[in-house]
A and B are shown apart, each in its own frame.
Chain A
Amino acid sequence: MIRVVLPPHLRTLARVSAEVTLDVPGPVTRASVLDALEARYPVLRGTIRDHVTEQRRPFLRFFACARDLTHEPPDAPLPDAVASGGEPFLVIGAIAGG
């Protein structure tokens, strides 16, 4: 199971209170994790990445294992600790504005 931690506003929107756990078929990448997340919580479609281009929203970041993975290719494998469920994949709302 893949563990995903969402920023508070997206937890409210998805009506979840803590970590989300997901089954991710195939290679565990940022794209496949977000695909699984959006399939389970369609209300999150368009809030993390654009509906059409699938570009990340500018004020969001992706962290895991104390690393910033934001600028890694979306199809790059996530760290083994994330793929094994040992560490969560973090979606972070950047510090920006009031």
Chain B
Amino acid sequence: MSGVRVLVGTRKGAFVLTSDGKRSRWEVSGPHFAGWEIYHMKGSPADPDRLYASQSSGWFGQVIQRSCDGGKTWETPGGGVTKGPDGMPAGESNKFVYDVSAGTGKPLTTHQWYDGTQHPWEFKRVWHLEPSLTDPDTVYAGVEDAGLFRSSDGGTTWQELAGLRGHGTGPKWQPGAGGMCLHTILVDPTNPKRIYIAISSAGAFRSDDGGKTWKAINRGLRSQYIPDPTAEVGHCVHRIALNRSRPQVLFMQKHWDVMRSDDGGDSWHEVSGNLPTDFGFPIEVHAHEPDTIFVVPIKSDSEHYPPEGKLRVYRSRTGGNEWEALTKGLPQRDCYVNVLRDATSVDSLDPCGVYFGTTGGQVYASADAGDTWAPIVRDLPAVFSVEVQSLR
């Protein structure tokens, strides 16, 4: 019997929602890590019972949690044979230390600060965890201040892929209102050496050598909020998505504008078309139809809620430009929630399921590719992230 597991990160804890393949009746487990901010949870494609969670707090900083049984129990990595005499994990799974210059021991680079000066990188939290497609013990972490780390021992220790910050444009990066965060990590399913990442607000970057070297891939983006609207970096990319069957085609929700690339990010063109507003945070691609994409339009960069108080997912079946509003089962009046960049996901069942969470604490699911929607839960803390695992 197939089923799905929905991993929900919220402002005050994590929740695990499970259902069978019909996706009509749900069990809710949680809160896990109650009271902590869970920016992201994600399962390993190579071992669905292996989950990783980013747990953080303004008081106590960053903790990484790992589950080996699908979220029933959790541990801070470094446990097992390395446990101390009291049974406590001996690892330091929350230690994210930026590389420094080998020659001088000083910071590798600095970035732009709000007052125009240069500022050293300072670790704040993990925004996104991306497990390897093939190895449950390998996982990437996108962090604030923007950097990319990798663990190859199940999250016990982390090493920075410092070529990203060191590739030359780092001093031009700057934080947006939400901080300077690396929030998107995509590994090409046909070529694990090819990795895409995106940073607010620096833009999109690609590595073709497993993360050693990087190039900015922002040609075609146009952003009115930077001095040179077509600059190499400085764009506030909110999210990038791809379909596994056609990984060279990328879709992007930028601060404003929905964009598409047909050449692995080398160039982009706008596909906002008839959207009521092209501001938004998440973007998803249908699991089986690479030209079917989903966005959640938000009124503007300062009014973070749906236009007209109507919560609408927009679907394009043409790879962009032509969009239809999906409204059945979603509130169509007095709705002023937001849907954050990591808070949408799709399953790989047939028909494809689509899921999203809101800052009002609802998690909505559609078992028919967006035609109809129903809430799984309505009253969670503000939802930061939603990831779905399809279980066979």
State which of A45, A51, A59 has its C-beta within 8 Å of the C-beta of B59. A59
- Give the distance in Å from the alpha carbon of A96 to the alpha carbon of B63 in the complex: 20
B-binding segment of A8-16, A25-33, A82-90: A8-16
8 Å CB interface, A52-77 against B: 52, 57, 59-60
Contact B97 A51 (CB under 8 A): yes
Whether A40 touches B61, Cβ cut-off 8 Å, given contacts A9-B36, A45-B95, is: no
- Whether B86 lies near A43 (C-beta < 8 A) is no
Contacts of B87 in A (CB 8 A): 15
* Distance of B291 from chain A, by nearest CB (Å): 43
Chain A residues positioned under 8 Å from B60 (CB to CB): 9-10, 13, 47-48, 57, 60, 93
- Is the Cβ of A41 less than 8 Å from the Cβ of B95? no
CA distance A15 to B171 in the complex (A): 42
Complex interface: chain A residues within 8 A of B86 (CB): 40-41
Cα(A5)–Cα(B262), bound, Å = 57
Check: B58 CB closer than 8 A to any chain A CB.
yes
Contact of A43 among B35, B36, B88, B97 (CB under 8 A): B88
A10 surroundings in chain B (CB, below 8 A): 60
Tell whether, in the assembled complex, residue A46 and residue B59 are in contact, meaning their CB atoms are under 8 Å apart.
no
Bound state CA distance, A93 and B375, in angstroms?
A: 36
Q: State the Cβ distance, B97 to closest chain A Cβ, in Å.
A: 6
A-B contact count (CB 8 A): 61
Closest chain-B Cβ to A48's Cβ sits at a distance in Å of 7
Q: How many chain B residues touch the partner (CB < 8 A)?
A: 22
B54-102 CB contacts (< 8 Å) to partner A: 57-63, 76, 78, 84, 86-92, 94-95, 97
A94's nearest neighbour on chain B, judged by CB, is B59
Within 8 A of A (CB), among B235-283: none
Which residues of B sit under 8 angstroms from A14, Cβ to Cβ? Answer: 88
Q: Contact between B59 and A40 (Cβ–Cβ < 8 Å)?
A: no
Partner of B62, one of A46, A94, A97: A46
For A15, A51, A52, A57, which residue has the most chain B Cβ atoms within 10 angstroms?
A51
A9 touches B88 (CB 8 A): no
Q: Which of A42, A48, A93 contacts B92 (CB 8 A)?
A: A42
Q: State the CA gap A93–B61 with chains docked (Å).
A: 12
A42 and B61 within 8 A (CB): no
Report how far A9 CA is from B61 CA in the complex, Å. 12
Residues of B within 8 A of A15 (CB): 87-88
Residues of A within 8 A of B (CB): 7, 9-10, 13-15, 40-43, 45-48, 50-52, 57, 59-60, 93-94, 96-97
6 nearest CB pairs, A to B: A47-B60, A59-B59, A46-B94, A93-B59, A51-B95, A43-B76
What are 21 A-B contacts defined by CB distance under 8 Å?
A7-B59, A9-B36, A10-B60, A13-B60, A14-B88, A40-B84, A40-B88, A42-B88, A42-B92, A43-B63, A43-B76, A45-B92, A45-B95, A46-B94, A51-B94, A51-B95, A51-B97, A59-B59, A93-B59, A96-B59, A97-B58
Given A13-B60, A40-B86, 13 more contacts at CB 8 Å?
A9-B35, A9-B36, A9-B59, A13-B76, A42-B78, A46-B61, A46-B92, A47-B60, A48-B60, A51-B94, A59-B59, A93-B60, A96-B59
